[in-house]
């Protein structure tokens, strides 16, 4: 499982020109699953995301978590995180999890995030989405469960 996390001042996702998810201060998560991922991967990365100290304290140091600052999450499914570009000129997505299984884990991941008391907005799994964000910092981190 991979999560590309971006600390944001604001973010929204639209589908067919309709806003389906929107947050202010918090984290935008692009979330991808690979074959073999399980609930353990979901639990590990959900805990990591909400407790990772990437928000500034009074001294300007990244010392506060999403929970500490009362931030929100915009979670967007992103199978292309498992695109392999080592050969040829077209990405190979063979490592990405089958959509049915991935959707179940994606929904489980979002529910796990909500269980921490975090506001979680989402895109629509499998839809063509436009993601708009104002990256704060910029701070962008790649998290992996393996």
Residue 140 falls within a domain, yes or no? no
- Our answer to whether residue 93 is catalytic in this structure is no
Q: 65: domain range?
A: 2-135
Whether residue 109 lies in the annotated active site: no
Residue 90, in any domain of the structure: yes
Distance CA 87, CA 97 (A): 20
Q: Which one from 80, 93, 109, 140 is the annotated catalytic residue?
A: 80
Nearest-CA neighbor of 33 among 131, 107, 115, 133? 107
Query: What is residue 102's predicted lDDT score, i.e. its pLDDT?
Result: 97
Residue 11's pLDDT is 98
Which residues sit opposite 120 in a β-bridge?
73
Instruction: Write down the pTM of the prediction.
Output: 0.95
Low-confidence residues in the chain, pLDDT < 50: none
CATH number of the domain bearing residue 91: 3.50.80.10
Residue in this structure with the two tokens 């929904």, named with its chain if needed = 107
Number of independent structural domains in the chain:
1
pLDDT at residue 146, rounded to an integer:
86
pLDDT at residue 99, rounded to an integer: 96
- Per residue, the 3-state secondary structure of 91-118, as one string, reads CECCCECCHHHHHHHHHHHHHHHHCCCC
Instruction: Report if residue 58 sits inside a domain.
Output: yes
Give residue 98's pLDDT. 96
146 within a domain of the structure (yes/no): no
- State CA 143 to chain mean position distance: 9
Active-site position among 12, 78, 109, 122: 78
Active-site hit among 79, 101, 109, 140: 79
């Amino acid at each position: 499982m991979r999560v590309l996390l971006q600390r944001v001042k604001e973010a929204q996702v639209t589908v067919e020109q309709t806003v389906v998810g929107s947050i202010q201060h918090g984290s935008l998560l692009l979330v991808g699953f690979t074959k073999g991922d399980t609930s353990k991967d979901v639990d590990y990365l959900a805990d990591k995301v909400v407790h990772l100290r990437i928000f500034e304290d009074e001294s300007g140091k990244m010392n506060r978590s999403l929970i500490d600052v009362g931030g929100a999450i915009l979670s967007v499914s992103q199978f292309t995180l498992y695109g392999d570009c080592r050969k040829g000129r077209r990405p190979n997505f063979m490592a990405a999890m089958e959509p049915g299984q991935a959707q179940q884990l994606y929904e489980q991941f979002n529910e796990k995030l909500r269980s921490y008391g975090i506001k979680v907005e989402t895109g629509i799994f499998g839809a063509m989405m436009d993601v708009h964000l104002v990256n704060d910092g910029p701070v962008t981190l790649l998290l992996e469960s393996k």
